[in-house]
Structure formats: structure tokens, C-alpha cells
Structure 1
Amino acid sequence: MTDQLSPVDLSSFLNDKESQQSKDDCRRIAQTLRDTSCLVIRDPRVSEIENSNFIDMMEKYYEQPLEEKMKDVHPELHYQLGATPEFVEVPRDHQEKINNLIHPNEAQVPKGADPKWRYFWRIGERPTKTQFQELNSEPVIPKAFPQWTEVMNRWGNLMMQSIRTVAEMVAIGLDLPSNTFLDVLNCGPHLLAPTGSDLGRYNELKRIFAGYHYDLNFLTIHGKSRFPGLFIWMRDGTRAPVKVPDGCLLIQAGKQMEWLTGGEIAAGFHEVIVSDETVAAIERARAAGKSLWRVSSTLFSNVASDHLLEPIGRFKNAATAQRYPSLLTGHQVEEELRMIKLAAPQ
């Protein structure tokens, strides 16, 4: 992993926001997101055991028969709650950007829909009134998992706790009021969104599980996966594998962060593929009799659906206003969902 992504420990900020170390950490976080669109953090409130318990449950969920998982699928809600089956989500067309990537930083060219499952579980308070009810509906609970709500909410709330701390630190590092991003996250449709990729069936080298793409939301956060395969692109076009240290969390900037900062922090491009390291991990897991489902313990934090999405403060000028026009966040999300085939065309 590149030195630019060495972990930032949140302890100093949590203990004393006014300390010099905290101020330095805020600047470092902001600069790292500018340079890489990614960030690795160590949050003392989040343990590896919590991540492991969550992944254990999701492995069991994805190992269920197909007919059981299909009971949790809701295309009428744009798949924004419950399960999304494999070969439904299609990466947005970024062929022009892919064509401009120079060796050795090329992306695998997506070929149709991704062979991954996903489960969406809403985290946090919902708005009492919204124009976007399908983005803020009640949860879907699988019948075979009595512990589901407790485990999902436990992990999701821990992830949101980290997101809120980082959001505050980024604002400070960008010389914005500390509550700038916290305010727009209130009552957002935050989604705990673990993916499930069946490495027992799809394990050939360079198989794409998540084609070259950016995330449409504000900040994405992940616990450490049990199988490698995530690659990111830095702002300068360099491709790098992500290796999250034990006990750490990965954060990626999404399109809403890019929108709010007028491109100061860009949505990061990334892909998940079967790499040589993935193949080696599959062989170890198979020999040990462990699950061959690759689970990502992911949460997508989102700006509130009814918030007007536009560049803020010093990031708003004629150029950024043209590139990032004002629109309701819910409309931005719906348009992105249409582009990746999760919402029907208008």
C-alpha cells in the first residue's frame, strides 16, 4: 500500500480537538483525500472483532439457497433496500477515462453487469418528510437471522460514528466550519451495503466483481475484507492495490463530496477483481474449510435526500457552479442509479 495511505489514528482528535496533533491530523486527512480520494483510519472505538462478527453473519446470509435470498429483493425500491442479486448492477460507462489510463495503471474493462450480490440496510434517523420515499423506506429483515437487526445496526452505527468524525476533521482541514459536512449528513439515507462475491464459482484471474467506477455518495467506509482484490486510482492516475491493516478502516470519497467541494476532493475510481493475491487467499480458505464468499463490510454515507447539493463556501464560483449545478441530492442519486441500471429509466 502506498505511503500516502498509511493509517491516520483518530485518537488525538477524539481526546482533544484543539491539540496541535489534532489540527495536523485534520490537515493530513484533507490533503490525503485531495491526493488519493482515499483514506485509511484507525478508530479506537471500532474493533476488528466487530468487523469479523459482521462478516461471519453476511457469509452465512450469502451462502443461503438462491430462493431464500430472492425473497429479500425489491426492484420497486430501486434495490435500495434488501438484496440486489448478482448480474443486476452495471458499471457506469467510463470507457473514455479507461482509454486514457497508461501502463501499468490500466483498468479491467467491464463486460456487462457485475457478478456480485449486495444487501442494503438503512442506518440512522430517517426524515419525517421527504420527496424521495423510496430512498428512505423501512428495512427488509431476512427471516432466518433473528440477530440481523442487532448486528447490522451495531456495525452500521460504528461505521457512521467514524464517518462523522472524519467528516468533521475534513471540514477543519479544508478551513471550513467544523459542522459543515455533519449538518448535511443529518437524516441522510445512509446504507450499510455489504457485497457478496462467490469466489467458489467466480475465481478466474482478472474476473471483475466491481467494474471501474466511482461511488455516488458522500463518503464510503469499509472494514477489512478477508479476500484482497480492491484497487484504487490516485488523482494522478496511478493504480494501487489497497491493503487495509488489521483493526483499520478504509474511507473513499464519493461524488457528493466532489460536488460539495467543487472538485477539490474528487470521487475516487476503483475496481474489485480476482488478483493473484485473491487466488492465493481462495486456496488458503478452501484448505481451511472456510467460506469462499468475499464480503465487503461497506457503508455508504449520504447527504440528506432533500438537501440542495451544490459547491459550498469558498468552493462555489462561476466555474464550479457550471460543472456542479444545484440540484436536490435525491435527484442526483436517482440519476446515478439509472446509469447503473438499479432504477428504471424515466
Structure 2
Amino acid sequence: MPGIWDRHMNFSQSCRSLFKTIAVVLALALPTALAISSADARVGGGMSSGSRGSRTYSAPPSTTTAPGSTSQFNRSYTQPGAGMNSAATAPARGGLFGRGGGFLGGLAAGFLGAGLLGMLFGGGLFGGLGGLSSIIGLVLQIALVFLVVRLAMSWWQRRHTPQAAYAGASTGGGGVGPGPQTNFRSGLGGFGFGANNAPLEIQPADYEAFERLLGDIQAAWSNEDVAKLHTFATPEMVSYFEKDLADNRARNVVNKVTNVKLLQGDLAEAWREGDTDYATVALRFALTDKTVDRNTGALVAGSEQPGEATEVWTFARRPGGAWELSAIQQTN
């Protein structure tokens, strides 16, 4: 009988050593991954921010430019309310399994956090939870570590897989409209225009304004010109830009986005709420996105080489005013 326990203890020690090594790798790899993703530092910081009126918590329809889904908002002044439909309020639901964490979500996070710390400091994943060191506990350790690695790899691939270009033929201006409505007109750049059945009709001049704002906002962001950003975006969006710029100054870096060119764009939806017009458009654009040291100009993140990005932007227009950027959403 003592021999069985000795073998079990030796096996447990070996597994603990393995898990400790994995925990150290994760502790080093995840911050590195976050640092690399900071190269995605263009205006909006690679996050989903802003408001889409009453449709803030409703996903915009997919288009040929952005055929997948969009990320939920990381930052928004608009909170889910009773006036929204159940689908819109679902992302904010708490409860037992809710996205906000809920009871089980917080409990699982606590177990995982305690376990990783336990591995780093020699206590094992469940070392502080009543001495659970049985074979079942070891299996749970392996499963949890495997799950963390898989989630991290999946997140990394989604963030860095280039969006595939739409394979359909294009004519005229070179853009592609959503669905079967593939009408083109010269002078629209990368915008295909369609969705003429939208509740709010979007004119060619509106598409031109969207394309112009794409470049103007990126230029004002690169120049850290907050006054100009106020003329191109809503106060909510400017507040996020100011925070991101302040973070850059604190790190003594500046993000430069140049050579912005719309490659393809189309309308997801357009509508009117009260006296405010909204238009959500999918944009695929080329850009050079790099972050440099504020003093020396040395490259900190990003690249001198041009790349591509696909985002969904929402614009708002009030009576007598021009279109302003109201939200940026990342695509999945």
C-alpha cells in the first residue's frame, strides 16, 4: 500500500512540474501577444466603440465587404434599455451563465486565476482548494490548461487572419454593393452602392462623404489633432480618441496611419431615429499602420509595409449638419 502512494506522489510531482512550466510559458506568451496586437493601433485602437442609437446592441447585417459578424461594443455610452428587443439586451445579460460573468463565470475565473498562480508558486492548480490532488484533479488541470491555450490561439488567429477579398467581378468604380444590388457609378471610389430599399435612402454624395471621412479621421488621429476630430466624429467617439491619445503619450509613442485608401465598401443599413440619420457601412481599406517612439521616431510596433483592415463604421447626421463618425466595430 505505501508503494501505491509513493507512485502517486511521484506522478503528482511530475505533473506539477509540467504544469508549472506551461504556466510560465503562458505568463510570458500572453503579454507578448498583447504587445504584438498593439500594432493594431489605428484610430479606435482595434476595439469596437461608440453608439448606433437604438441599434447599438443589434448586430448590423452582414455585407459582401464584411460577410462575418461584428464584435460587440467594448466601449459605449448607450446602455441596454427596456425599449430594446430581447436580442439586443442579451449581450448584457448577467445571471448564472451571462456574458457579464454571472455566478459561474466569476467562479470559473477565480478557479483559473488561483490555479495559474498556484502552479507558478508550487501549490498546484488546486493546491489551495482543500488539497484535491487525485487523478481527477490532475485531469482537470490538464483540461483547463488546454482550454486556456486553445482560447488564446483562437483569439490570436481571429485577430490576425487577413480578410479575404470579395471574389465577384467589379466594374465602373470598382466597388461591390450588398447582395444582388451591385450598381456602380464612377466617382464613388471603392463604394458599391445598393441597399436602395433601406428605410433611409443613401445618395452618392453620402458615400463620398463616408470615404472622405475615412481618410480625414485617420489623418487627424495621426496628427493628434483633437480639434479636427471634433469636426469629424461625435463627442462620444472623440472622448475615446482622447483617452487613446493620452495613453500613447503616457507610453511616449505616437501612432501614424498613412496611405489610407478605400478598397471596397457597402451599406449594411441606414435608418432614421427622431431627427437623426444613421448609416452603417462596411469598409475594407489599405493603410500603413505603425507606432513610433515620440522622441526618436524609432519603430515600436506595426510595420512600414502597407496592410489591410476591414471594419464596420456607423455615421450619424443631425438636421443641418454633416455626417459624423458615431461608432467603429471590428469584424470577426
Q: What TM-score, normalized by structure 2, do the two folds share?
A: 0.23
Q: What TM-score, normalized by structure 1, do the two folds share?
A: 0.23
